[in-house]
Amino acid sequence: MYEKDGEKYFVVDSHMHYWDASPQNWVPGQEQYAKGWIECFHAYQALGPAETHWSIEHFQKYSEEDLMTDVFDTGHVDIGIFQPTYLNSWYSEGFNTTEKNGDLAEKHPGKFIVNTRFDPREDEATGFRELEENVQRWGSKGVKLYTAEWRGDSRGWTLKDPAAYRYLEKAQELGIKNIHVHK
């Protein structure tokens, strides 16, 4: 718990990622997008002091050790909420998946809340099953909806899509209370 001037503060990092954007995870033929994605976020470091900057190689794959130190030790966070962003069109094993987040949460009980995701462009039988399994395994009470994610020829989706309504209904049925929409 963070303390300042005698006051204690419970700190929640409500939007965190445990990612792998390393070249070994790039989808063959999609390297330019995988590389561009991570380089875009790496460039934001220029907004901070030089001593906080990481090399692109270090930034491409966030290690468990770095995450635990940055977030909980020097970052004073009490609990972090994982928000997955799969980006499977560019990253073979995903950029930041519910399963990878969940595995880390299992290693560090009480440190993380594992949110999941859905994509209404997926076949409902498969998508609903995955959503159910993630809620059951990790107790997910929230979903991160990354509507700009590429899938085949599609370059994104909208909450107005009829399939999105069916997924939102399924999420509600499963007890999901928090919808985090990336816009």
- What tens digit of pLDDT does each residue of 134-147 get? 999 999 999 999 99
DSSP state of 73: I
- What pLDDT score was predicted for residue 1? 85
pTM of the shown model? 0.92
- What tens digit of pLDDT does each residue of 22-54 get? 999 999 999 999 999 999 999 999 999 999 999
CA triple 14-20-25, angle to 5 deg = 150
Phi and psi at 145, nearest 5°, equal -110, 110
The helix/strand/coil state of 87 is coil
- What tens digit of pLDDT does each residue of 64-100 get? 999 999 999 999 999 999 999 999 999 999 999 999 9
Structure tokens of 166? 């069916």
Residue 164 vs residues 116, 121, 160, 168, 171: alpha-carbon distances, Å: 15, 8, 7, 6, 10
| Rounded distance between C-alpha atoms, residue 144 and residue 52, angstroms | 28
